[in-house]
């Protein structure tokens, strides 16, 4: 067999020029202390339950990877995050990315030792870009994901924010994306803080700006809900992977909590009140992958 030669295969002529490989669907779990939480615009967190239950549920239901984000980060309860990671890593056999409050190479090493496969860096990378070079050299590029939290400015430009969208940096996101690629990042996780938790749809313009500026894979995050928009994030935005939280969490909550022994762990009173989470439609991984398949977007089938 001849290897390495670029096969001159006729590619089907479609408008899907942006799709490189099998799109990954990545449930994102925001963690505060021992709990899975979810907010809107990264704020106003609501406790949903134990992250381990959700992680296992997503693993068994076709998730391609998982992202854990410690949203309080850095200051306290770091040990509880390590415990969650190592408990989860014993049960799930798909890649696990962990982010939030990682400042030093030692911090990174610790979460990798606890069972993470990749780490995502935002604040630390902006304050000290050298850490991208050092970390990708030490742990391998593919271990280092740079998270960019973008907020659209009145003039249409996007600026990177740190500290869960609270602090402005004045750094333009496309320039920053190009820089982190040059410094050795293996992947970019681009969050639209404007859309995050709202279910208003991915910011296609933002995703496209980033994905066309770099050659490393881009994970789109923030706003997933409407099926047509999910499709657009890939075909028009050029996303290689989608990180999705709200629509998955809300759909799986009832199933997960009814199966767990300690009912008080989740926000049962909220659930029992029968209220809906705003405009957000519930969905699951299977529905999203079926949608992709129907639109000839390749992904790993469930």
Partner 1 sequence: MSSKVVIVDYGLGNIFSINQACKHVGLDSTITSDPKHILNADALILPGVGAFGDAMNSLRENNLIEPILDFVKTGKPFLGICLGMQLLFTESEEFGEHKGLNLVPGKIVRFPEFNSNSKVVRVPQIQWNQIYKNDPLVWNSSPLIDIEEGTYMHFVHSYYAIPQSNDNILSYSEYEGVRYASAVAKDNIVGVQFHPEKSADQGLKIYRNWSNYIKNKVYRLC
Site pattern 207..246 for partner 1 (x: CB under 8 A):
--------xxx----------------------xx-----
Q: Does 187 bind partner 1 (CB under 8 A)?
A: yes
For partner 1, give the closer residue by CB, 127 or 138.
Answer: 138
Window 93-122: contact mask with partner 1 (x via CB under 8 A): xxx----------------xxxxxx-----
* CA-atom Rg of the chain in angstroms: 19
Q: Which stretch binds partner 1 (CB under 8 A): 2-10, 168-176, 195-203, 222-230?
A: 2-10
Rounded Cα distance between 67 and 30, Å, is 8
Element (H, E) at 146: strand 144-152
The single-letter DSSP state of residue 260 is: S
Restricting to residues 29-88, which ones interact with partner 1 according to CB under 8 A? 59, 64
Return the bridge partners of 145, or none.
120, 187
Which residues are annotated as catalytic?
Answer: 30, 149
Q: At how many degrees (to 10) do helices 78-89 and 51-60 cross?
A: 30
Q: Which is nearer to partner 1, 40 or 94 (CB)?
A: 94
Binding flag, residue 5, partner 1 (CB under 8 A): yes
Residue 174, exposed/middle/buried by CB under 10 A (0-12, 13-18, 19+)?
middle
> How far is 241 from 149, CA to CA, in rounded Å?
16
Total number of residues that touch partner 1 (CB under 8 A) = 45
Query: Is 286 among the residues that bind partner 1 (CB under 8 A)?
Result: no
Q: Are 152 and 158 in contact (CB under 8 A)?
A: yes
Instruction: Give me the count of residues in the chain.
Output: 302
The least CB distance from residue 191 to partner 1, in Å, is 18
Residues that bind partner 1 (CB under 8 A): 1-9, 11, 17, 20-22, 24, 59, 64, 89-90, 93-95, 112-117, 137-143, 186-187, 215-217, 240-241, 299-301
């Amino acid at each position: 067999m001849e290897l390495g030669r670029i096969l001159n295969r006729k590619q089907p002529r479609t408008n899907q020029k942006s799709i490189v490989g099998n799109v990954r669907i990545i449930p994102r779990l925001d963690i505060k202390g021992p709990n899975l939480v979810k907010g809107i615009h990264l704020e106003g967190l609501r406790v949903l339950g134990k992250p381990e239950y959700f992680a296992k549920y997503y693993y068994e239901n076709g998730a391609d990877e998982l992202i854990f984000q410690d949203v309080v980060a850095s200051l306290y309860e770091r040990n509880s995050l390590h415990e969650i990671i190592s408990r989860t890593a014993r049960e799930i056999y798909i890649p696990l990315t962990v982010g939030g409050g990682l400042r030093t190479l030692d911090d990174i090493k610790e979460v990798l030792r606890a069972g993470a496969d990749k780490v995502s860096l935002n604040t630390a990378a902006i304050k000290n870009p050298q850490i991208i070079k050092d970390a990708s050299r030490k742990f391998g590029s593919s271990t280092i994901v740079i998270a960019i939290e973008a907020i659209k400015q009145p003039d249409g430009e996007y600026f990177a924010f740190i500290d869960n969208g609270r602090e402005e940096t004045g750094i333009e996101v496309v320039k920053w994306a190009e820089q982190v690629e040059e410094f050795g990042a293996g992947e970019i996780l681009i969050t639209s803080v404007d859309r995050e938790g709202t279910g208003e749809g991915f910011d296609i313009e933002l995703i496209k700006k980033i994905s066309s500026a770099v050659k490393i894979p881009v994970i789109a995050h923030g706003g997933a809900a409407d099926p047509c928009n999910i499709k657009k994030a890939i075909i028009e935005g050029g996303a290689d992977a989608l990180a999705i939280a709200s629509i998955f969490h809300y759909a799986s909550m009832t199933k997960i909590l009814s199966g767990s022994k300690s009912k008080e762990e989740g926000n049962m009173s909220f659930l029992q009140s029968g209220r809906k989470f705003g405009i957000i439609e519930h969905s699951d991984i299977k529905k999203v992958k079926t949608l992709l398949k129907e639109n000839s977007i390749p992904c790993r089938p469930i």
